[in-house]
Structure 1
Amino acid sequence: CGSTLRAPHGCHAQYMANMGSIASLVMAVVVNEKELDGDSEGQMQQKGRRLWGLVVCHHTSPRYVPFPLRYACEFLMQVFGIQLNKEVELAAQMREKKILRTQTLLCDMLLRDAPLGIVTQKPNIMDLVSCDGAALYYGENFWLLGVTPTEVQIQDIVAWLSEHHMDSTGLSTDSLVYAGYPGAGALGDAVCGIAAVRINSKDFLFWFRSHTAKEIKWGGAKHDLEDRDDGRKMHPRSSFNAFLEVVKMRSLP
Protein backbone atom coordinates (compact mmCIF):
# COMPACT_ATOMS: atom_id res chain seq x y z
CA CYS A 1 0.00 0.00 0.00
CA GLY A 2 1.46 3.37 -1.02
CA SER A 3 -0.72 5.49 1.25
CA THR A 4 1.08 7.76 3.70
CA LEU A 5 -1.98 8.07 5.97
CA ARG A 6 -3.32 4.97 7.68
CA ALA A 7 -5.46 4.26 10.70
CA PRO A 8 -3.37 2.92 13.60
CA HIS A 9 -3.65 -0.71 14.60
CA GLY A 10 -5.86 -1.23 17.63
CA CYS A 11 -2.90 -2.42 19.69
CA HIS A 12 -0.87 0.68 18.72
CA ALA A 13 -3.83 2.92 19.57
CA GLN A 14 -3.98 1.38 23.05
CA TYR A 15 -0.24 1.93 23.50
CA MET A 16 -0.77 5.58 22.58
CA ALA A 17 -3.61 5.87 25.07
CA ASN A 18 -1.44 4.34 27.81
CA MET A 19 1.25 6.94 27.11
CA GLY A 20 -1.21 9.81 26.99
CA SER A 21 -0.43 10.34 23.31
CA ILE A 22 -3.04 11.59 20.86
CA ALA A 23 -1.10 11.99 17.61
CA SER A 24 1.49 9.65 16.08
CA LEU A 25 3.83 9.89 13.10
CA VAL A 26 5.87 6.80 12.16
CA MET A 27 8.67 6.74 9.58
CA ALA A 28 10.59 3.65 8.49
CA VAL A 29 14.37 3.43 8.10
CA VAL A 30 15.09 0.86 5.39
CA VAL A 31 18.47 -0.53 4.31
CA ASN A 32 19.65 -2.99 1.69
CA GLU A 33 19.81 -6.71 2.34
CA LYS A 34 22.80 -8.74 1.20
CA GLU A 35 22.81 -9.72 -2.43
CA LEU A 36 20.78 -12.82 -3.21
CA ASP A 37 22.33 -15.45 -5.46
CA GLY A 38 20.70 -15.98 -8.84
CA ASP A 39 19.24 -19.30 -9.89
CA SER A 40 20.91 -21.92 -12.04
CA GLU A 41 19.74 -20.21 -15.23
CA GLY A 42 21.88 -17.20 -14.49
CA GLN A 43 19.20 -14.93 -13.12
CA MET A 44 20.61 -11.54 -12.14
CA GLN A 45 21.36 -10.99 -8.49
CA GLN A 46 18.82 -8.93 -6.62
CA LYS A 47 19.07 -6.86 -3.49
CA GLY A 48 16.25 -7.02 -1.03
CA ARG A 49 15.27 -4.38 1.47
CA ARG A 50 14.82 -4.78 5.20
CA LEU A 51 13.48 -2.65 8.00
CA TRP A 52 16.38 -1.35 10.11
CA GLY A 53 14.38 0.82 12.50
CA LEU A 54 11.57 3.27 13.03
CA VAL A 55 11.40 6.95 13.89
CA VAL A 56 8.24 7.44 15.94
CA CYS A 57 6.91 10.88 16.88
CA HIS A 58 4.14 11.40 19.45
CA HIS A 59 2.19 14.40 20.64
CA THR A 60 -0.22 14.85 23.53
CA SER A 61 -2.67 16.89 21.44
CA PRO A 62 -4.14 16.39 17.95
CA ARG A 63 -1.61 17.40 15.30
CA TYR A 64 -2.13 17.56 11.57
CA VAL A 65 1.03 17.07 9.53
CA PRO A 66 0.51 18.45 6.01
CA PHE A 67 1.58 16.43 2.99
CA PRO A 68 4.63 18.60 2.06
CA LEU A 69 6.03 18.12 5.57
CA ARG A 70 5.29 14.38 5.50
CA TYR A 71 6.99 14.13 2.12
CA ALA A 72 10.02 16.03 3.46
CA CYS A 73 10.20 13.65 6.44
CA GLU A 74 9.99 10.64 4.13
CA PHE A 75 12.77 12.07 1.94
CA LEU A 76 14.90 12.68 5.04
CA MET A 77 14.45 9.04 6.09
CA GLN A 78 15.43 7.87 2.59
CA VAL A 79 18.62 9.95 2.68
CA PHE A 80 19.38 8.73 6.20
CA GLY A 81 18.80 5.13 5.10
CA ILE A 82 21.18 5.52 2.15
CA GLN A 83 23.91 7.00 4.36
CA LEU A 84 23.34 4.36 7.03
CA ASN A 85 23.57 1.62 4.41
CA LYS A 86 26.93 3.00 3.24
CA GLU A 87 28.25 3.02 6.81
CA VAL A 88 27.05 -0.54 7.44
CA GLU A 89 28.59 -1.81 4.19
CA LEU A 90 31.88 -0.01 4.89
CA ALA A 91 32.11 -1.50 8.38
CA ALA A 92 31.36 -4.97 6.99
CA GLN A 93 34.05 -4.57 4.31
CA MET A 94 36.63 -3.51 6.89
CA ARG A 95 35.81 -6.50 9.10
CA GLU A 96 36.00 -8.83 6.11
CA LYS A 97 39.38 -7.46 5.01
CA LYS A 98 40.79 -7.86 8.52
CA ILE A 99 39.56 -11.46 8.72
CA LEU A 100 40.98 -12.26 5.27
CA ARG A 101 44.39 -10.83 6.22
CA THR A 102 44.40 -12.90 9.40
CA GLN A 103 43.33 -16.01 7.50
CA THR A 104 46.15 -15.51 4.99
CA LEU A 105 48.78 -15.19 7.72
CA LEU A 106 47.50 -18.23 9.60
CA CYS A 107 47.40 -20.30 6.40
CA ASP A 108 50.99 -19.26 5.63
CA MET A 109 52.03 -20.58 9.05
CA LEU A 110 50.34 -23.90 8.36
CA LEU A 111 51.91 -24.17 4.89
CA ARG A 112 55.36 -23.63 6.43
CA ASP A 113 54.78 -26.76 8.54
CA ALA A 114 54.47 -24.64 11.66
CA PRO A 115 50.98 -25.49 12.98
CA LEU A 116 51.85 -24.29 16.48
CA GLY A 117 52.37 -20.80 15.10
CA ILE A 118 48.62 -20.26 15.00
CA VAL A 119 48.62 -20.25 18.82
CA THR A 120 52.15 -19.10 19.69
CA GLN A 121 52.61 -16.19 17.27
CA LYS A 122 50.75 -13.02 16.31
CA PRO A 123 48.21 -12.95 14.81
CA ASN A 124 46.81 -16.11 16.36
CA ILE A 125 43.49 -17.92 16.23
CA MET A 126 41.97 -15.52 18.79
CA ASP A 127 42.36 -12.72 16.23
CA LEU A 128 40.22 -14.68 13.77
CA VAL A 129 37.12 -14.95 15.98
CA SER A 130 35.81 -12.60 18.66
CA CYS A 131 36.23 -14.77 21.76
CA ASP A 132 37.45 -14.86 25.35
CA GLY A 133 39.78 -17.81 24.88
CA ALA A 134 41.04 -20.39 22.41
CA ALA A 135 42.81 -23.73 22.51
CA LEU A 136 44.60 -26.14 20.23
CA TYR A 137 44.44 -29.84 21.07
CA TYR A 138 47.04 -31.44 18.80
CA GLY A 139 48.89 -34.71 19.23
CA GLU A 140 47.45 -35.10 22.74
CA ASN A 141 49.09 -31.80 23.73
CA PHE A 142 47.39 -28.56 24.75
CA TRP A 143 48.01 -24.91 23.88
CA LEU A 144 45.69 -22.52 25.73
CA LEU A 145 45.04 -18.82 25.10
CA GLY A 146 42.92 -16.49 27.22
CA VAL A 147 39.98 -17.82 29.25
CA THR A 148 39.65 -21.55 28.67
CA PRO A 149 38.66 -24.74 30.47
CA THR A 150 41.43 -26.77 32.08
CA GLU A 151 43.32 -29.38 30.06
CA VAL A 152 41.32 -32.15 31.74
CA GLN A 153 38.05 -30.40 30.89
CA ILE A 154 39.10 -29.88 27.27
CA GLN A 155 39.98 -33.56 27.02
CA ASP A 156 36.49 -34.35 28.32
CA ILE A 157 34.95 -32.03 25.71
CA VAL A 158 36.99 -33.78 23.00
CA ALA A 159 35.69 -37.16 24.18
CA TRP A 160 32.11 -35.84 24.19
CA LEU A 161 32.47 -34.40 20.67
CA SER A 162 33.98 -37.64 19.40
CA GLU A 163 31.09 -39.62 20.84
CA HIS A 164 28.12 -37.39 20.03
CA HIS A 165 29.32 -35.36 17.01
CA MET A 166 31.68 -37.79 15.31
CA ASP A 167 30.00 -37.35 11.91
CA SER A 168 30.37 -33.55 11.87
CA THR A 169 33.37 -31.31 11.28
CA GLY A 170 32.77 -29.48 14.54
CA LEU A 171 30.25 -27.75 16.77
CA SER A 172 29.14 -24.17 17.36
CA THR A 173 26.82 -23.22 20.22
CA ASP A 174 26.21 -20.26 22.53
CA SER A 175 25.42 -22.62 25.40
CA LEU A 176 27.10 -25.94 26.16
CA VAL A 177 24.31 -26.52 28.69
CA TYR A 178 21.61 -26.44 26.02
CA ALA A 179 23.86 -28.34 23.60
CA GLY A 180 23.68 -31.26 26.02
CA TYR A 181 27.27 -31.35 27.27
CA PRO A 182 27.02 -33.04 30.70
CA GLY A 183 30.09 -31.29 32.12
CA ALA A 184 28.90 -27.76 31.34
CA GLY A 185 28.07 -27.00 34.97
CA ALA A 186 31.65 -27.69 36.06
CA LEU A 187 32.98 -25.03 33.66
CA GLY A 188 31.53 -22.23 35.80
CA ASP A 189 30.93 -18.75 34.41
CA ALA A 190 34.24 -18.64 32.53
CA VAL A 191 33.15 -20.80 29.59
CA CYS A 192 29.68 -21.07 28.11
CA GLY A 193 29.77 -20.85 24.31
CA ILE A 194 32.10 -22.84 22.10
CA ALA A 195 33.13 -23.22 18.48
CA ALA A 196 35.04 -26.43 17.85
CA VAL A 197 36.65 -27.39 14.54
CA ARG A 198 37.88 -30.91 13.92
CA ILE A 199 41.37 -31.00 12.38
CA ASN A 200 41.35 -34.77 12.11
CA SER A 201 39.77 -37.62 14.05
CA LYS A 202 41.69 -36.75 17.23
CA ASP A 203 42.77 -33.10 17.03
CA PHE A 204 40.64 -29.98 17.50
CA LEU A 205 40.70 -26.20 17.45
CA PHE A 206 38.52 -24.45 20.04
CA TRP A 207 37.20 -20.94 20.58
CA PHE A 208 35.45 -20.14 23.87
CA ARG A 209 33.11 -17.40 25.02
CA SER A 210 32.15 -16.60 28.59
CA HIS A 211 28.66 -16.19 30.02
CA THR A 212 26.84 -12.98 29.24
CA ALA A 213 23.96 -12.16 31.56
CA LYS A 214 21.58 -10.34 29.26
CA GLU A 215 19.46 -7.77 31.02
CA ILE A 216 16.36 -7.02 28.95
CA LYS A 217 13.99 -4.26 30.01
CA TRP A 218 10.40 -4.76 28.89
CA GLY A 219 7.53 -2.27 28.98
CA GLY A 220 5.56 -4.28 31.52
CA ALA A 221 6.04 -7.92 32.43
CA LYS A 222 6.84 -9.92 29.29
CA HIS A 223 5.12 -13.05 30.55
CA ASP A 224 2.06 -11.31 32.01
CA LEU A 225 -1.00 -13.44 31.31
CA GLU A 226 -3.04 -10.26 30.96
CA ASP A 227 -1.29 -9.47 27.68
CA ARG A 228 -4.30 -11.02 25.92
CA ASP A 229 -7.95 -10.37 26.50
CA ASP A 230 -10.74 -12.94 26.71
CA GLY A 231 -10.97 -13.01 22.92
CA ARG A 232 -7.25 -13.91 22.74
CA LYS A 233 -6.51 -10.69 20.90
CA MET A 234 -3.17 -9.07 21.54
CA HIS A 235 -3.23 -5.86 23.50
CA PRO A 236 -0.48 -3.81 25.16
CA ARG A 237 0.58 -4.07 28.74
CA SER A 238 -1.21 -1.49 30.81
CA SER A 239 1.92 -0.56 32.76
CA PHE A 240 5.08 0.97 31.32
CA ASN A 241 7.08 0.16 34.43
CA ALA A 242 10.32 -1.54 33.42
CA PHE A 243 10.35 -5.29 33.88
CA LEU A 244 13.84 -6.76 34.04
CA GLU A 245 14.50 -10.20 32.58
CA VAL A 246 17.93 -11.76 33.04
CA VAL A 247 18.98 -14.43 30.56
CA LYS A 248 21.75 -16.68 31.85
CA MET A 249 23.73 -19.73 30.71
CA ARG A 250 24.41 -18.27 27.26
CA SER A 251 27.33 -16.53 25.61
CA LEU A 252 27.17 -13.92 22.90
CA PRO A 253 26.08 -15.67 19.68
Structure 2
Amino acid sequence: VRMICDCFAPPVKVIQDKKLAQPLSLCGSALRSPHGCHAQYMANMGSIASLVMSVTVNEDDEEMDSDQQKGRKLWGLVVCHHTSPRFVPFPLRYACEFLIQVFGVQINKEVELAAQGREKHILRIQTVLCDMLLRDAPVGIITQSPNVMDLVKCDGAALYYRKKIWLLGVTPTEAQIKDIAEW
Protein backbone atom coordinates (compact mmCIF):
# COMPACT_ATOMS: atom_id res chain seq x y z
CA VAL A 1 0.00 0.00 0.00
CA ARG A 2 1.46 3.32 -1.08
CA MET A 3 -0.03 6.53 0.31
CA ILE A 4 0.57 10.13 -0.75
CA CYS A 5 -1.13 12.41 1.78
CA ASP A 6 -0.40 15.68 -0.01
CA CYS A 7 1.41 15.87 -3.32
CA PHE A 8 2.17 19.57 -2.63
CA ALA A 9 3.86 18.90 0.74
CA PRO A 10 7.53 19.86 0.55
CA PRO A 11 9.87 16.86 0.79
CA VAL A 12 11.87 16.48 3.99
CA LYS A 13 15.52 15.58 3.65
CA VAL A 14 16.62 12.37 5.35
CA ILE A 15 20.06 12.63 6.92
CA GLN A 16 21.86 9.32 7.00
CA ASP A 17 24.20 8.33 9.81
CA LYS A 18 27.74 8.49 8.43
CA LYS A 19 28.54 5.14 10.09
CA LEU A 20 26.18 3.27 7.73
CA ALA A 21 28.10 1.48 4.98
CA GLN A 22 25.22 1.42 2.48
CA PRO A 23 22.84 4.24 1.50
CA LEU A 24 19.51 4.11 3.33
CA SER A 25 16.76 2.54 1.19
CA LEU A 26 13.25 3.97 1.55
CA CYS A 27 11.73 1.73 -1.14
CA GLY A 28 9.24 0.09 1.27
CA SER A 29 8.76 3.13 3.47
CA ALA A 30 5.55 5.09 3.88
CA LEU A 31 7.72 8.15 4.60
CA ARG A 32 8.95 8.44 1.04
CA SER A 33 7.82 11.52 -0.89
CA PRO A 34 6.45 11.17 -4.43
CA HIS A 35 8.74 11.83 -7.37
CA GLY A 36 8.35 15.37 -8.70
CA CYS A 37 6.84 14.32 -12.03
CA HIS A 38 4.31 12.06 -10.25
CA ALA A 39 3.27 14.91 -7.94
CA GLN A 40 2.79 17.13 -11.01
CA TYR A 41 0.78 14.38 -12.74
CA MET A 42 -1.52 14.14 -9.70
CA ALA A 43 -1.92 17.91 -9.56
CA ASN A 44 -2.80 17.99 -13.29
CA MET A 45 -5.62 15.50 -12.55
CA GLY A 46 -6.88 17.64 -9.68
CA SER A 47 -5.79 15.00 -7.19
CA ILE A 48 -3.89 15.95 -4.06
CA ALA A 49 -3.85 12.66 -2.14
CA SER A 50 -3.79 9.04 -3.27
CA LEU A 51 -3.75 5.52 -1.95
CA VAL A 52 -2.44 2.79 -4.29
CA MET A 53 -2.74 -0.94 -3.66
CA SER A 54 -1.17 -3.68 -5.79
CA VAL A 55 -3.20 -6.76 -6.72
CA THR A 56 -0.79 -9.66 -7.19
CA VAL A 57 -1.33 -13.22 -8.38
CA ASN A 58 0.85 -16.34 -8.64
CA GLU A 59 3.28 -16.59 -11.54
CA ASP A 60 2.17 -18.88 -14.37
CA ASP A 61 3.53 -22.43 -14.05
CA GLU A 62 4.80 -22.37 -17.66
CA GLU A 63 7.03 -19.39 -16.89
CA MET A 64 8.64 -21.12 -13.90
CA ASP A 65 11.44 -23.70 -13.89
CA SER A 66 10.72 -26.81 -11.83
CA ASP A 67 13.34 -25.82 -9.23
CA GLN A 68 12.13 -22.21 -8.96
CA GLN A 69 9.81 -21.18 -6.20
CA LYS A 70 6.46 -19.80 -7.31
CA GLY A 71 6.59 -16.01 -7.33
CA ARG A 72 4.04 -13.25 -7.50
CA LYS A 73 3.30 -10.91 -10.39
CA LEU A 74 1.35 -7.69 -10.64
CA TRP A 75 -2.19 -8.28 -11.93
CA GLY A 76 -3.59 -4.80 -11.37
CA LEU A 77 -3.81 -1.74 -9.17
CA VAL A 78 -6.53 -0.21 -7.04
CA VAL A 79 -5.95 3.55 -7.01
CA CYS A 80 -7.91 5.93 -4.78
CA HIS A 81 -7.65 9.71 -5.30
CA HIS A 82 -8.80 12.64 -3.18
CA THR A 83 -9.05 16.30 -4.14
CA SER A 84 -7.66 17.57 -0.84
CA PRO A 85 -4.86 16.43 1.48
CA ARG A 86 -5.89 13.24 3.26
CA PHE A 87 -4.15 10.93 5.69
CA VAL A 88 -5.40 7.34 5.87
CA PRO A 89 -4.71 5.91 9.35
CA PHE A 90 -2.66 2.73 9.61
CA PRO A 91 -5.53 0.43 10.76
CA LEU A 92 -7.55 1.43 7.68
CA ARG A 93 -4.55 0.98 5.36
CA TYR A 94 -3.90 -2.43 6.95
CA ALA A 95 -7.55 -3.43 6.40
CA CYS A 96 -7.31 -2.28 2.76
CA GLU A 97 -4.14 -4.30 2.29
CA PHE A 98 -5.87 -7.40 3.71
CA LEU A 99 -8.88 -6.94 1.41
CA ILE A 100 -6.59 -6.55 -1.61
CA GLN A 101 -4.74 -9.75 -0.67
CA VAL A 102 -8.05 -11.63 -0.40
CA PHE A 103 -9.09 -10.17 -3.76
CA GLY A 104 -5.77 -11.32 -5.27
CA VAL A 105 -6.36 -14.86 -3.96
CA GLN A 106 -9.86 -14.84 -5.50
CA ILE A 107 -8.52 -13.58 -8.86
CA ASN A 108 -5.88 -16.31 -8.74
CA LYS A 109 -8.56 -18.97 -8.17
CA GLU A 110 -10.61 -17.62 -11.10
CA VAL A 111 -7.55 -17.65 -13.38
CA GLU A 112 -6.75 -21.24 -12.33
CA LEU A 113 -10.38 -22.31 -12.87
CA ALA A 114 -10.38 -20.78 -16.37
CA ALA A 115 -7.10 -22.58 -17.19
CA GLN A 116 -8.57 -25.88 -16.00
CA GLY A 117 -11.64 -25.28 -18.18
CA ARG A 118 -9.45 -24.65 -21.23
CA GLU A 119 -7.44 -27.79 -20.47
CA LYS A 120 -10.61 -29.93 -20.19
CA HIS A 121 -11.89 -28.46 -23.47
CA ILE A 122 -8.63 -29.32 -25.25
CA LEU A 123 -8.69 -32.86 -23.83
CA ARG A 124 -12.26 -33.36 -25.13
CA ILE A 125 -11.25 -32.16 -28.60
CA GLN A 126 -8.16 -34.36 -28.51
CA THR A 127 -10.32 -37.39 -27.63
CA VAL A 128 -12.73 -36.72 -30.52
CA LEU A 129 -9.87 -36.27 -33.00
CA CYS A 130 -8.12 -39.43 -31.78
CA ASP A 131 -11.39 -41.34 -32.21
CA MET A 132 -11.57 -40.13 -35.82
CA LEU A 133 -8.03 -41.35 -36.44
CA LEU A 134 -8.70 -44.70 -34.75
CA ARG A 135 -11.84 -45.23 -36.86
CA ASP A 136 -9.62 -44.84 -39.92
CA ALA A 137 -11.26 -41.53 -40.81
CA PRO A 138 -8.29 -39.12 -40.72
CA VAL A 139 -9.92 -36.67 -43.14
CA GLY A 140 -12.43 -35.89 -40.38
CA ILE A 141 -9.78 -34.02 -38.38
CA ILE A 142 -9.87 -31.40 -41.16
CA THR A 143 -13.41 -31.61 -42.54
CA GLN A 144 -15.52 -32.13 -39.40
CA SER A 145 -16.12 -30.21 -36.21
CA PRO A 146 -14.16 -30.12 -34.03
CA ASN A 147 -11.12 -30.08 -36.27
CA VAL A 148 -7.39 -29.95 -35.74
CA MET A 149 -7.45 -26.12 -35.62
CA ASP A 150 -9.63 -26.31 -32.50
CA LEU A 151 -6.85 -28.23 -30.76
CA VAL A 152 -3.98 -25.78 -31.23
CA LYS A 153 -3.78 -22.05 -31.83
CA CYS A 154 -3.04 -21.70 -35.54
CA ASP A 155 -4.09 -19.89 -38.71
CA GLY A 156 -4.26 -22.99 -40.84
CA ALA A 157 -3.78 -26.73 -41.11
CA ALA A 158 -3.24 -29.27 -43.85
CA LEU A 159 -3.64 -33.01 -44.10
CA TYR A 160 -1.62 -34.99 -46.62
CA TYR A 161 -3.09 -38.48 -46.69
CA ARG A 162 -2.88 -41.12 -49.42
CA LYS A 163 -1.43 -38.62 -51.90
CA LYS A 164 -4.38 -36.20 -51.36
CA ILE A 165 -4.29 -32.82 -49.64
CA TRP A 166 -6.99 -31.17 -47.51
CA LEU A 167 -6.48 -27.52 -46.53
CA LEU A 168 -8.05 -25.54 -43.72
CA GLY A 169 -7.48 -21.83 -43.07
CA VAL A 170 -4.31 -20.05 -44.18
CA THR A 171 -1.86 -22.64 -45.54
CA PRO A 172 1.06 -23.03 -47.90
CA THR A 173 0.19 -24.05 -51.45
CA GLU A 174 -0.49 -27.71 -52.27
CA ALA A 175 2.87 -27.91 -54.06
CA GLN A 176 4.67 -26.55 -50.98
CA ILE A 177 2.84 -29.02 -48.74
CA LYS A 178 3.87 -31.92 -51.01
CA ASP A 179 7.48 -30.69 -50.89
CA ILE A 180 7.35 -30.56 -47.08
CA ALA A 181 5.80 -34.04 -46.85
CA GLU A 182 8.33 -35.56 -49.23
CA TRP A 183 11.29 -33.86 -47.60
User: What is the TM-score when the length of structure 2 is the normalising length?
Assistant: 0.70
Q: Which residue of 1 aligns with 2:13?
A: none
Using the alignment, how far apart are the partners of 2:34 and 2:120 within structure 1? 45
- Which residue of 66, 74, 84 maps to 1:38? 66
**1:74/1:4 CA distance change after superposition, 3 Å:** farther
Q: Which residue of 2 aligns with 1:9?
A: 35
SS of match in other structure, 2:76 = strand
Using the alignment, how far apart are the partners of 2:32 and 2:102 within structure 1? 23
Q: Which residue of 2 aligns with 1:68?
A: 91
Using the alignment, how far apart are the partners of 2:151 and 2:42 within structure 1? 47
Q: Which residue of 1 aligns with 2:55?
A: 29
Larger Rg: 2
Q: Verify the 8 A CA contact 2:158 2:166 in the aligned structure 1.
A: yes
Q: Verify the 8 A CA contact 1:125 1:134 in the aligned structure 2.
A: no
SS of match in other structure, 2:112 = helix
Please tell me the residue identity of whatever aligns with 2:110: E
Q: Verify the 8 A CA contact 1:103 1:128 in the aligned structure 2.
A: yes
Equivalent pairs, count:
152
Q: Which residue of 2 aligns with 1:128?
A: 151
Relative contact order, CA 8 A, sep 6+: which one is greater?
2
Structure whose residues are more often strand by fraction: 1
**1:85/1:5 CA distance change after superposition, 3 Å:** farther
Query: RMSD of the TM alignment (CA)?
Result: 2.7
Structure 1, gaps ≥5 residues long: 40-44, 167-199, 203-253
* 1:76-91 alignment runs, 5 A limit: 76-91=99-114
Q: Does 1:50 find its partner at 2:73?
A: yes
Please tell me the residue identity of whatever aligns with 1:65: V
- Which residue of 151, 155, 171 maps to 2:173? 155
SS of match in other structure, 1:99 = helix
Structure 2, gaps ≥5 residues long: 1-26
**1:154/1:105 CA distance change after superposition, 3 Å:** same
Q: Does 1:102 find its partner at 2:115?
A: no
Please tell me the residue identity of whatever aligns with 1:76: L
